[in-house]
Amino acid sequence: MKKLIYLDNAATTRTAPEVVDAMLPYFSEYYGNASAVYDFGGKSKEAIARARETIAGILGAKDNEIYFTAGGSESDNWALKAAAEAYQDKGNHIITTKIEHHAILHTCQYLESRGFEVTYLDVDEQGVVKLDQLRAAIRPTTILITVMFANNEIGTIEPIAEIGRIAREHGILFHTDAVQAFGQVPIHVDELNIDMLSASGHKLNGPKGIGFLYIRKGVKIRSFVHGGAQERKRRAGTENVPGIVGLGRAAELAASTMEERTARERELRDYLLDRVLREVPFTRVNGSRANRLPNNANFCFQFIEGESLLIMLDMKGICGSSGSACTSGSLDPSHVLLAIGLPHEIAHGSLRLTLGADTTKEEIDETIEAVKEIVAQLREMSPLYEDYVKKHN
């Protein structure tokens, strides 16, 4: 393979070698069914229990509050659909935000088609949820508040402690999509009053197709997959043992390296943000500078199309993204960038670069040079830019 500079870690990450090593024995050596009576199946059962314990420990939760799923999308779907159904006697109103991942937004739309009412909160120009709007949106019929821990596009970290407190004061269930935050920022479910939390393996150097949903004890929740008795009868199906083992190992690694790793990423990321802002004219950084995921950089370059920039970066072996992974391929500007108040033509010129544990200074330097060169090249071809220059000369 040709040289690759991978700066799309918010879309997915490399499975860490330590994680692969931990998983391997559970394919061909310990392949027993965890539900079996014989001791050999017990090996799988023990491995699942260990992973559950590890994850619970990191969150300050109990083992039996962690339910393994097939990833972030499934966890989000489960949390929302099952809570809506279980609490419909109390009411039919759900509060979320305009900047959620589509796994939340599209599930909310589905629930609306089933008679639920959803309030989509605005965010400020940095992408932070407006707490006064949240308070004002609460009704006697509100059964669930779901706000993401950190945004996948612009990296803004939401005021989760405050939202948790408001939800608790009103006796409303609080779910957070922590797919981007888990492994990047410390999370304690009791301190933050979180009742349900979604996370995904492949966003934290674990395998794809595995995740979990934390469900606080006492929360009424329905089974999501009916069948066998796995996951305390709530999510049937023979367990993805290698995946669960990998997720447990990835979570353990992420927690133990968090301080050092994120400090390094933050420093490199700030270097990237500052240099691009300084060296590329007509550029803005999207999202909060203060409350931001350590590995996220998101820019808008005026007068150009983000898609063209991505294609030309790709020709240099640099992987980035514009909008979220799911919206790539569509030409609509990102709903997140529109929600922070950017006009369409600016939102179109966006670039997200997300660093990983292995990202080097050399890679960042090379990327900055490439961005400078390509943006200048694209602007030369841009009629918008030509107009602008004419008007201002």
Ligand X SMILES: *Cc1c(COP(=O)(O)O)cnc(C)c1O
Residues with a known catalytic role: 326
To ligand X, the closest distance from the beta carbon of 380 in angstroms equals 35
**Min CB(209)–ligand X separation in Å:** 8
The only residue of 84, 147, 148, 280 in contact with ligand X, by rule CB under 6 A? 148
- Sign of the CA dihedral running 157, 162, 164, 166: negative
Query: Site map for ligand X, 53-92, x if CB under 6 A?
Result: ------------------xxx--x----------------
Instruction: Write out the H or E segment, with its range, that includes residue 54.
Output: helix 39-59
261 touches ligand X (CB under 6 A): no
Q: Cβ distance 350 to 298 under 8 Å?
A: yes
User: Which of 51, 94, 99, 103 is the binder for ligand X (CB under 6 A)?
Assistant: 103
Region binding ligand X by CB under 6 A among candidate stretches 18-26, 174-182, 224-232, 280-288: 174-182
Q: How far is the CB of 179 from ligand X (least distance, A)?
A: 4
CB of residue 120 vs ligand X: minimum separation in angstroms?
A: 16
Binding residues for ligand X, total number by CB under 6 A: 15
Q: Count the neighbouring beta carbons within 10 Å of the beta carbon of residue 356.
A: 17
Quick check: 179 binds ligand X (CB under 6 A)? Answer: yes
Name the nearest CA neighbour of 206 among 52, 22, 56, 34.
22
Task: Decide if 159 contacts 124 (C-beta within 8 A).
Answer: no
Q: Is 152 in the site for ligand X (CB under 6 A)?
A: yes
User: Is residue 180 close enough to count as binding ligand X by CB under 6 A?
Assistant: yes
Nearer to ligand X, 103 or 123 (CB): 103
Contact range with ligand X by CB under 6 A, out of 200-208, 303-311, 371-379, 382-390: 200-208
Q: Helix, strand, or coil here: 368?
A: helix
User: CA 117 to CA 120: how far, in whole Å?
Assistant: 10
Give the residue among 318, 368, 374, 314 at the shortest CA–CA distance from 349.
374
**Alpha-carbon gap, residue 81 to 88, rounded angstroms:** 11
Q: Which run of H or of E encompasses 359?
A: none
Residue of minimal Cβ distance to ligand X:
72
At 39 the three-state DSSP class reads helix
Decide if residue 183 touches ligand X (CB under 6 A): no
For residue 156, the minimal CB distance to ligand X (Å) is 12
Q: Contact at 8 Å (CB) between 146 and 116? A: no
Shortest Cβ 83–ligand X spacing (Å): 17
Nearer residue to ligand X within complex by CB, 178 or 357 = 178
Place of tokens 């199309």: 305
CA dist 120 → 110, 130, 137, 142 (Å): 14, 11, 9, 13
65-to-116, 187, 234, 243, 244 alpha-carbon distances in Å: 27, 15, 11, 18, 15
323 is a site residue for ligand X (CB under 6 A): no
x/- letters, 211..230, toward ligand X (CB under 6 A): x-------------------
Residues that bind ligand X (CB under 6 A): 71-73, 76, 101, 103, 148, 152, 177, 179-180, 200, 202-203, 211
